[in-house]
Amino acid sequence: MTGQTHRFQVGDFTCIAICDEGVPDTIQGLYANVSADDLASAARSLGYDIDSFPMSCTPLFVDTGTQRVLIDAGRPQLEAGGDGYLLRGLDAAGIALDSIDVVMLTHGHGDHIGGLTDANGRHYYANARYLMWKAEWDYWTDEATLAQLDTKRAAVRRASFGAMADRVELLTTEGEIAPGIRCVPMLGHTPGHCGVLIESRGERLLDIVDAIHTPMQMQHPDWHCRFDVAPAVAVETRRAVFAQAAADNLLTLGFHLPFPSLGHVVADGAAWRWQPLA
Ligand SMILES: [Zn+2]
């Protein structure tokens, strides 16, 4: 099975959303402050079963014409014991890995940085600059953070961040990471979690990454994922991001939303709802 891809344009930019996830997943227990019954009924109202929820992992490739940018490196790829869907998807789309100029790492979770290198630490994107928000880097390279993880996870983090150390550039101000592509801090899921705003010829795409994990969270922005490091901040961020996406009618991508993970956020009473791309 190859990585599913969805190719689309944002103005002059060619974008490809790539599915780096193979199987439907249960989302039971995904939210720390939601009962199983509430989660199941909210899912059902949108036509989903929580035991076979089509959770995706959707890195985004953008070709501006002068720069090739990959937003997140996905899960560990084939040579590192994973499924390899992202690399297969890029290959199927005819994108040579060494042609990628920038890899924006939105945050330090394994489904976003795990696919940067193979099991031997060899970098797949040989010519790319890596970008990450500085507070994110500082958090995951702090031994106090790693002390809260089990030994295996801490070791994986140490190896991943160690491999990135000599090529990562740390961001401290919101702004362009390539012409037409802006890094936008969306804090809370992790201390330096960032979204990305892509704009060309007046068309825009807002990648909100892990500010949200399922469409049910549009109706319930106060639901927080158990991986949210700062839940109260994440709720505030979610509300602000949804409000902006709805007000500006922005094409929006959520990394874990059902593939191709694209659609619009629509105001709905005191909250919002997800209108997936048809
Ligand atoms: Zn994630």
Domains of the chain, start order: 5-276 (3.60.15.10)
> What does DSSP say about strands 13-18 and 60-63: parallel, antiparallel, or unpaired?
antiparallel
Element (DSSP H or E) covering residue 168? strand 168-171
Residue 94 has which token pair? Answer: 């005819």
What spacing in Å lies between the alpha carbon of 101 and ligand 1's midpoint?
22
Q: How far, in Å, from the CA of 157 to the mean position of ligand 1? A: 15
The alpha carbon of 261 and the centre of ligand 1 are apart by a number of angstroms equal to 13
Can you give the pLDDT at residue 278?
A: 72
CA–centroid distance, 128 to ligand 1, in Å, is 21
SS (H, E, C) 211-272: CCCCCHHHHCCCCCECCCCCHHHHHHHHHHHHHHHHHCCCEEEECCCCCCCEEEEEEECCEE
The secondary structure element, H or E, covering residue 183 is strand 181-185
136 Cβ contact partners less than 8 Å away, ≥ 6 residues apart: 105, 107, 108, 190, 191, 192, 193, 194
Bridge-based pairing state of the strands 102-104 and 129-133: parallel
Residue type, 110: G
Confidence at residue 167, expressed as pLDDT on a 0 to 100 scale: 94
Ligand 1 centroid from CA 49, angstroms? 20
- Ligand 1 mean position to 27 CA, how many Å? 13
Q: Which residues of the chain have pLDDT under 50?
A: 1
User: How far does the centroid of ligand 1 lie from the alpha carbon of residue 233, in Å?
Assistant: 17
* Contacts of 245-248 spanning 24+ positions with Cβ under 8 A: 245/206, 245/208, 246/272, 248/204
Q: pLDDT (tens digit, 9 = 90+) per residue, 24-66?
A: 789 999 999 999 999 999 999 999 999 999 999 999 999 999 9
Q: Please indicate, yes or no, whether the overall pTM of this predicted structure exceeds 0.85.
A: yes
State residue 124's pLDDT score. 96
**197 CA to centre of own chain:** 13
Q: Which two tokens stand for residue 100?
A: 């990628």
- Residue 176 amino acid letter: E
- CA–centroid distance, 47 to ligand 1, in Å, is 23
Query: Residue 22 has what pLDDT?
Result: 67
* Continuous segment of H or E residues that includes residue 274: strand 271-276
Counting other chains too, the contacts that 47-51 makes at CB distance below 8 Å and 24 or more residues apart are: 50/26, 51/26
- For residue 175, the Cα-to-chain-centroid distance in whole angstroms is 18
Cα 74 to ligand 1 centre (Å):
9
Å from CA of 54 to ligand 1 middle: 14
